[in-house]
Chain A
Amino acid sequence: MNEAILRFENVVYRYPDAAQQALQGLNLTVQRGRVTAILGPNGAGKTTLLRLAYGRFQPQSGQIWLEGRPLADYSRQELGRKVALVPQRETNPFSYTLLEYVLLGRAPHLSPLEMPSAADIEIARKALETVGLLPLVERTVQSLSGGEFQLLLVARALAQQADLLLLDEPTSHLDLSNKKRLVACLQNLVVGGTTILFTSHEPEVVAALADHVVLMRGGQVLSSGTLDEMWDDGRLSEVYGIPVQVHRFDGHRYLTWA
């Protein structure tokens, strides 16, 4: 299972008009079947890294490999079948039903004039079932709470049937109970063998989900390794630039900061 699905090699990216590079020679490997978390302060380049991973931006130098092939060689539609994104926020003014919304995840599998088939609808329903929203299937998107909407976006990404699932700060504006619900849903996916790469500002979410942790700062990877290796006072203090302490209690890890 230790095959690399995604690999960044000395990747440099600078936004147009920006003085500084957002990613400065970044190296990173995401293993298939694992959950990789990216942790780092604001402006570390986490979201930029995700944008490069689904092909939205191309690096100015360096190489990104997806399943052993340069990412730039994939067509956009092919990429949509390989990599799915759950964005941090999403707006849509129209009152779709949940099923109609999740069905949009089938787009990379359909040609421009094709309508979703009965099989596509079945896949969308299964995705809704996986995230626990099937009972609400005929409700409209607008009637969902913030937590349910986040689950809906996960369902749409599942309907994409991609090999790699990217999540950009999936729990950042959820309350505790919704956070728990989303984490439980993602844990189920992990058991099912889904490969996940996500960014987060929340150590407890990272601790609950990740096998592999990447610590980023200033557009570079400071260090990466297993959760146990990375959950270290010195490393976390270095990433955030403030003293951070890791406490272990009852099999759980807690962070405190000064």
Chain B
Amino acid sequence: MNVARSAGSQPNISAAAAKSASRTRSRRRLLGLTILLLVVFALSLFLGRYPQVGLITPAQLAEDPLAQRLVFNLRLPRLIASVLIGMSLAGAGMVMQMVFANPLVEPGFLGVSQAAAFGAALTILTMGGAGWQVQISAVIFGLAGLCLSYLLARRVRYGGWVLRLLLAGIAVSALFSSGVGLIKYLADPLRQLPDITFWLLGGLWSITWQAVLSVLPLISLGLLVLWLMRWRLNLLALDDEVVFSLGVAANRERLLVLFMAVAVTAASISISGLIGWVGLLVPQLARRFSGADARDGLPTAFLLGGIFMMICDNLARTISAGEIPLGVLTSLLGALGFLILMTRRTLKV
């Protein structure tokens, strides 16, 4: 150990060069992705079915007041929402995969998604389902789903902490999804059931500036905390005894990052409805792209998540005259992408 201790004071030049080269490479990659995100964002703003299918020209935008309203009051908040939601779901997926040391986990685990769906459906059934009611109820129930999973996990008498949380999450998810089933059975098939079904399929057609601004603070805070703790996520993926021996209060930190992941997930799906597969697929892609270390992996997942969600939403709103539910598209693309990743020759997660 003395050998290692003497090292800090006299940095080796080639090592420093190698180190800075690899950091420069990853910084350049992140910069490239950021530029790509901005380009996709700008193009998406002009893309749609008005006044013709395809891109709107700047001249049309300058002359047509309807086009202006369309772009600034409908498309812009919708795009911002899709970026926020993509970042949240992908980031939360990355966090959960690391905390549970399992690359096949996504935010739907721990009962969050199903609980939020139950909260939304319940509000539609009992209170008529105004937008803000559904949002608040989805966030509250999403967090309640996490708390319930956590409390149950503490009582499970089998396996380590991570396994217990997963088992509890599966049970809580099943509980809330049976509740959703019951609500669908009870709902008025003409008035309420379509609302509930649309919410369960997910979509961004009803996004307003108000909806975006209502979730912006929570999502920004959550993503910021996760970003600040990104190196730490690597530690939380280690075995319990190892992370303890490294002097980390692992369960407290795991709970903090999980709470943030759940909060951004619940806030996202409160305005979009259920959107699956992004949290599973995008972190996998991000690790292929930037390596396992969450220092680069998490920002990569944020950026790829935002890009993926914008592209999915563009397809959802432009392919056909009627809108395709976003959740259906992300599931389709996500599952296909996942299958391709998983069946490639080298499985590198």
The chain A residues found within 8 Å of chain B, CB to CB, are 51, 54-56, 76-81, 83-85, 87, 90-97, 100, 104-105, 107-108, 112-116, 118-119, 121-123, 125-127, 130, 140, 142, 158-163, 165-166, 188-189, 192-194
Contacts and interface: CB of A to CB of B under 8 A. Distances in A.
A31 to B, nearest CB: 16
B110 to A, nearest CB: 18
Contact of B4 (A76, A97, A100, A127): A127
Given A85-B242, A125-B12, A125-B15, 17 more contacts: A54-B244, A56-B241, A56-B244, A84-B245, A87-B239, A94-B292, A104-B246, A107-B235, A107-B247, A112-B229, A113-B228, A113-B229, A115-B295, A121-B19, A122-B16, A125-B7, A158-B4
Contacts of B232: 112-113
B241 A51 contact: yes
B344 interface: no
Contacts of A93: 101-103, 237, 349
Nearest to A153: B242
A97 B253 CA distance: 24
A100 B293 contact: yes
Given A91-B101, A93-B102, A123 B15 contact: no
Contact of B239 (A76, A91, A125, A158): A91
B147 to A, nearest CB: 23
A21 B11 CA distance: 49
Interface of B: 1-5, 7-8, 11-12, 15-16, 19, 98, 101-103, 228-229, 231-232, 234-235, 237-239, 241-242, 244-249, 253, 287, 291-293, 295, 348-349
B1 A165 contact: yes
A192 B1 contact: yes
A127 to B, nearest CB: 5
Nearest to A121: B19
A244 to B, nearest CB: 31
Q: Which 9 A-B pairs have the closest CB atoms?
A: A80-B247, A108-B247, A126-B7, A85-B245, A94-B292, A77-B247, A107-B246, A100-B293, A96-B292
Contacts of B248: 76-77, 80, 107-108
Given A85-B242, A87-B242, A95 B247 contact: no
Contacts of A119: 8, 11
A112 to B, nearest CB: 6
A188 to B, nearest CB: 8
Given A87-B239, A87-B241, A126-B3, A118 B19 contact: yes
Nearest to B247: A80
B239 A162 contact: no
A237 to B, nearest CB: 33
**Which of A54, A55, A122 gathers the greatest number of chain B CB atoms within 10 Å?**
A122
Given A56-B244, A107-B248, A95 B348 contact: yes
Interface centre among B238, B245, B287, B292 (most CB of A within 10 A): B245
Nearest to B292: A94
A95 B349 contact: yes
Contacts of A118: 11, 16, 19
Contact of A90 (B1, B3, B228, B242): B242
Contact of A130 (B4, B235, B293): B4
5 contacts: A85-B241, A87-B239, A91-B101, A97-B291, A125-B15
A130 B3 contact: yes
A166 B80 CA distance: 51
A100 B245 CA distance: 18
B19 A104 contact: no
Contacts of A125: 7, 12, 15
Contacts of A158: 1, 3-4
A125 B102 CA distance: 28
Nearest to B100: A93
B226 to A, nearest CB: 12
A162 B15 contact: no
Contacts of B15: 121-122, 125
B208 to A, nearest CB: 35
A79 B247 CA distance: 6
Contacts of A121: 15, 19
Contact of A100 (B1, B287, B292): B292
A159 B245 CA distance: 13
A36 to B, nearest CB: 16
Contacts of A96: 234, 291-293
B348 A80 contact: no
Nearest to A74: B247
Contacts of A78: 247
Contact of A104 (B102, B103, B235, B253): B235
B295 A90 contact: no
Contact of A193 (B2, B12, B242, B349): B2
Nearest to A78: B247
Contacts of A194: 1-2
Contacts of B287: 94-95
A192 B2 CA distance: 6
Residue among A56, A81, A90, A125 with the highest chain B CB neighbour number at 10 A: A125
A100 B3 contact: no
A94 B349 contact: yes
Contacts of B242: 85, 87, 90
